[in-house]
Chains A and B, each alone.
Chain A
Amino acid sequence: MEQKTDTLLELHDLSVSFRMYERGASQRELTVISDLHLTVRPGEIVAVAGSSGSGKSLLASAILGILPDNATVRGHLHYKGEELTAERQQALRGTEIALVPQSVAYLDPLMKTGAQADGHKKPRPTVRREQLFARFGLPKQTGRLYPFQLSGGMARRVLLSTALLTDAALIIADEPTPGMSTEQAVEALTVFRELADDGRAVLLITHDIDLAFTFADRIAVFYAGTTVETAPAADFKEGPDALRHPYSKALWRALPQNGFTPIDGFQPVAVRLPAGCLYAPRCPHKTAECEEKVPPVREIRGGEVRCYRFTGKNGGCDVS
């Protein structure tokens, strides 16, 4: 497979499945992420947007190599052009790749937040941490508080600080903004923007599509454990005609400001994934081919899409 060295992180046909034991000795596989395709380049913010429960957080764990023991990862993971093996993941975690986790539960309940933000590596970045806390509007004594004494928004900002205090080239932020006020969220994303402009990269996992539109460079639309389309953020601002996949278009139309139009059906569950395109059961444009085989990734107009029906011909909107 061709490797571009200018990409920071490259995921090809990544699948994550879990072995589940049922009654007796029977075992089954639960595929949570399938055939995921994603590229992150230095200097950009890539948002992975999708509904809750679609396996977005597991994507972060898969990249960092911290999935539970009963998980299996298939496909290709490349970091800076080289394969991301378990040993490399271990060496890169916390130094090259940093995680911003979701909730206060990711903080040790019995350790003061200052010590937790500083981390286990010496020398401790205490002075920088205090500056960062101040920038995020955290009161001066926050470092001496325990996690249970923080509000939800404060905890998010502490979690964010943990990643910003590293010199990581890639920051994976898992839902970093809920619980923050609008100003705080904007401040957090401004920090991300600065980091990206500085040559680093941010993988923003979020269900807040509006936020992703505003701050991300590219948006990967996540559906049932796969990315159906990756498009420049500008395409999402333009509207459904600029988008490629039927699900992205439907997602756009479902936004409150765009008509709030829902689509029928549910996301398929991990135990019963369709054999072909994961969106086929709900897609009005599906053919027999769509239901049989997973469509390959194709590059069309500066974006990537997995769809047989969308070819980019006829003015780029043969599926509407």
Chain B
Amino acid sequence: MKRLIRIFLTYGIRLAALLLAVSIVSFVLVDASPVDPVTQYINGLGTAVSPEQRAEIEAYWGVDTPSVERYFNWLAGVLKGDLGESSLYRRPVSDIIGERFAGSLALMCLAWALSGIIGFSLGCLMGMYRDSWPDRILKKLCYLLSSLPTFWLGLLFLLVFSVWLGWFPIGFSAPIGVLHEDTTIGERLYHLILPALTLSLISFSQIALHTRQKLSDVLDSEYVLFAKARGEGKWTILRRHGLRNILLPALTLQFASFAELFGGSVIAENVFSYPGLGSAVSAAGLNSDVPLLLGITLFSALFVGVGNMIANLLYGIVDPRIREVGE
């Protein structure tokens, strides 16, 4: 129990340090960029403002206060849970993140599960039948998939499945012209499939190739040779020794792929006009919505950081060799 508290404390401090570093770097970058939030804000108002009004707004936003002071003001707000107000949507940043994240989460979860399950099973099969012709073809296919850009794959899917075949909608998370409250889960899932598939294909091939390589190493090991000598069949070996030894690295890889998942979702959501965090971040960037941009940056750092933390923790919990060192 004491050990557990210590572990969580260590990781908590690390995560806080990471977030602090990310906040400083992103604040400095935004501060140094030619973006003028005030002009952007005024443009957003949609009405002309007099120079006096502009001065007032500038004073309100603290344009004349030094950057360091502004950073601490912002940080103090963040610590209190106030991420500021989005100049684009005119609503608190935290509300937008919460709302958009729900959409993204469904997309990312589906993509994550798809790539994990398909990637792992395919990797296992490829490893069991390595160097056979199906394995060779699948391997080449995986290399091809991992070198394709996401947006291109997304566009291809849209073209083939939505435009030519008409199997899937061309975008959005719900049918056009239907109120958000009236959409069914089935309809939402239907809109989710194509973007999720695109997103999962990025990390899927890596997981398959990694699993294949790991299993291949295991099958070449002396303990598998001994298992054969003891009369264990091919599938018994996979069940008794294969899965045991490849599941852990695969799981770690799966949790460590949060970064790619998040990065990929920005592109996939834009291609499919899917209203999630990814499309919000590009909107914030294109419209110089500084509070929203900073908020999402912080949030994505938290998301990826937590993913990596889970990967680390899993290793410590599952692998007896590492567990003992911890004790």
Contact = CB atoms under 8 A, between A and B. Distances in A.
A108 B232 contact: no
Given A120-B236, A146-B320, A149-B324, A109 B230 contact: no
B232 A107 contact: no
Interface in B213-250: 221-223, 225-232, 236, 240-241, 244-245, 248
B58 interface: no
A66 B225 contact: yes
Interface residues of chain B: helix, strand, loop or mixed (majority): helix
Contact of B228 (A93, A98, A103, A105): A93
Contacts of B3: none
A166 B231 CA distance: 11
A267 interface: no
A108 B221 CA distance: 9
A295 interface: no
A94 B324 contact: no
A162 interface: yes
B222 A94 contact: no
Interface residues on B, range: 20 to 34
A106 interface: yes
Contacts of B229: 61, 64, 66, 93-94, 99, 101
Given A106-B223, A106-B225, A109-B223, A94 B320 contact: no
Given A66-B225, A106-B222, A110-B319, A119 B245 contact: no
Nearest to A63: B229
A105 B222 contact: yes
Interface of A: 61, 64, 66, 90, 93-95, 98-99, 101, 103, 105-111, 119-121, 146, 148-149, 162, 166
Nearest to B321: A148
Contacts of B228: 64, 66, 93
Given A93-B228, A93-B230, A94-B231, A110 B245 contact: yes
A123 to B, nearest CB: 16
A106 B228 CA distance: 11
A148 B324 CA distance: 10
Nearest to B218: A108
Contacts of B319: 110
**Which 5 A-B residue pairings sit nearest by Cβ, starting from the closest?**
A94-B231, A94-B230, A106-B226, A99-B229, A93-B231
Contacts of A95: 231
A61 B229 CA distance: 8
Interface in B300-322: 319-321
Contacts of B245: 108-110
Given A109-B223, A120-B236, A98 B230 contact: yes
Of B221, B231, B236, B240, most buried by chain A (CB within 10 Å of CB) is B231
B223 A120 contact: no
Nearest to B229: A99
A99 B321 contact: no
